[in-house]
Structure formats: C-alpha cells, structure tokens
Structure 1
Amino acid sequence: MGSLESSGAEVVTVDVHATKNLINSGHKYLDVRTVEEYKKGHVGADKILNIPYMFNTPEGRVKNPQFLSEVSSVCNKEDQLIVGCQSGVRSLSAAADLLSAGFKHVSNMGGGYLAWVENGFLVQKPHTEL
C-alpha cells in the first residue's frame, strides 16, 4: 500500500458512469485535449475547463510547458477534478502530473471522450449554421 505521503501518488481511474455521477455532484471536468479536439465536441458538463496537455506541432505532439501553471491559475489544489482526453492516455499522464504538483483530488476518466460518446452521454458540439 504505502503511505499517503508517497510522491508517486497512484492515479485513480474511474469509468464514464462514475465520472457522470461525479460531474453531477459538482466535480470539475478538465478536458486536456487540444482546443481543436475540444471544439469538435466535448463532455456535457457545467464546470468544464479545456487546458491542453499536449499541442500538435509539425514535429508531432509536444507537452504543454504551461499546463500546470494554467491549471493552477483556474483551480486550487483542493478542487475535485476529473481529467479526461480522447481515449484516456493523455489524461492519465496529466492526472499524475497534477497529483505530483500537490493537487489532492484528481481522478482520470478511463476510456476518455470516446467512451463517453459510446455510452450515449450528453455531449456539447458546436452549433453549425444551416
């Protein structure tokens, strides 16, 4: 088990059903996908933030060097956060970084946005002009 003071805090992964309940009970949802991905559609939640964990560049994806400071500017370390991405890979790394930085209540949404959509949960998509 190990002590709670261990620096390698284990990331807790919750499925989309648990995530939906946590969002409904007031947790903030932190979408760490790119702005482009986010704009195509995202989890339907009142308290949602989009802070990319990685950026797409001509050389491939690179980590956002401002990620932790951007999250810290809009969240405090006691906030209850659920981190999600497209499939659950980036969010796992992002959640681990947040825990290492001292955030206390961080969970990872397993399966990401794709699993959310597969389950038919509420999504918000851009309104297109007809």
Structure 2
Amino acid sequence: MAATKRPEDVVTIDVYAAKGLLISSSGHRYLDVRSVEEYKKSHIDNALNIPYMFITEEGRVKNPEFLNQVSSICNKEEKLIVGCNSGGRSLRACVDLLNAGFENVKNMEGGYSKWVDSGFAGEKPTEELKVACKFRP
C-alpha cells in the first residue's frame, strides 16, 4: 500500500498555470470545493462544485460525502485542479483525493480570491462571506 499523502505531497500551481491548463486541450477540470453559497455568488466557468466543508451552527464541518461525490462525477485518472477561496480547503481536499487514489490533482494556490485579483473574472467575496467561510481546523 502506498504511503499516506500529506499536504507537502500536493502539487500546487499558481492561478496563471491553472488558467493555462483549463483553457488548453490538456483535459483539466476545475473542482471548486467552496460552499454552495460561495459558488453561487461567483465562480470559474465550467467548474464542478463539491463542497469540502459545510457551514453549520457549530462552525465548519467536513462534508462526509466529499470523496463519494467527487468519485460519482470524476474518475481517478482525471486531471483536476482543485480550488477554494484562498487555498486552505483545497489543499486538504487534494490530500484526501490523493489518499483515495486520485492520481492527477493540483491545488490552485491562492484560490478563487487570487483568480479574481489576477483579473481573470468574477467578483471578490464580500467581507461577511469571508468571515463566515473562514476555515477553522
């Protein structure tokens, strides 16, 4: 059995590399692991949205069906670029995906906020949403 993957095992790329892969014919897909609320406000075109965490009254809770949901629409050989709002949730999601046997996952450094800051599209999240969605380990 392969060794358990850790955050330092995840390939991280910047938003420029991510955009290049997404618009090329390389077959990469963007997996947005932000909450449905975040995704509905603004997102990268053609993104898949499967939340890694949910916002509950008790705070953030990991989506217990995350891996099953990803596996239901993506095969383990698919090339995925994983992003959230700033890079924390997507890094953890990449670790889980690698440990589940997904072979080609990359974390988008800086997340959707960096994507917007780089002028690619979309709107920055409101301050209220940033506070509500701040990751708590």
**Normalised by the size of structure 2, how large is the TM-score?**
0.82
Aligned position for 1:36: 37
Query: CA offset at residue 8 of structure 1?
Result: 1.9
For the residue of structure 2 that corresponds to 1:123, the secondary structure is coil
* Alignment TM-score, normalising by the size of structure 1: 0.87
Q: Give matches, 1:87-102, under 5 Å.
A: 87-102=86-101
1 or 2, which has the higher helix percentage?
2
Aligned counterparts of 1:122 and 1:58: Cα–Cα separation in 2: 31
Moved over 4 A (4+): none
**Structure number having the greater strand percentage:** 1
For these two proteins, the number of residue pairs brought into alignment is 119
**Aligned 1:1-130 pairs, distance under 5 A:** 5-8=2-5, 10-25=9-24, 26-43=27-44, 45-46=45-46, 48-123=47-122
1:7 is aligned with what amino acid?
A: T
Structure 2 residue runs of 5 or longer lacking an equivalent are 124-137
How far residue 7 of structure 1 moved from its aligned partner, in angstroms, is 2.8
The separation in 1 between residues aligned to 2:3 and 2:61, in whole angstroms, is: 28
Q: Counterparts of 1:62 and 1:8 in 2: how far apart (Å)?
A: 21
Unaligned runs of 5+ in 1: 125-130
Q: What's the CA shift for 1:6? A: 3.2
- What is the CA-CA distance between 1:67 and the residue it aligns to? 0.1
Tell me the percent identity: 63
1:15-48 deviation per Cα after TM superposition (whole angstroms, max 9, x unaligned): 00000011112311000000000000012x33x2
Q: Which amino acid counterpart does residue 96 of structure 2 have in structure 1?
A: D
**Helix, strand or coil at the partner of 1:42:** coil
For residues 93 and 69 of structure 2, the distance between their equivalents in structure 1, rounded to whole angstroms, comes to: 12
RMSD (Å), alpha carbons: 1.6
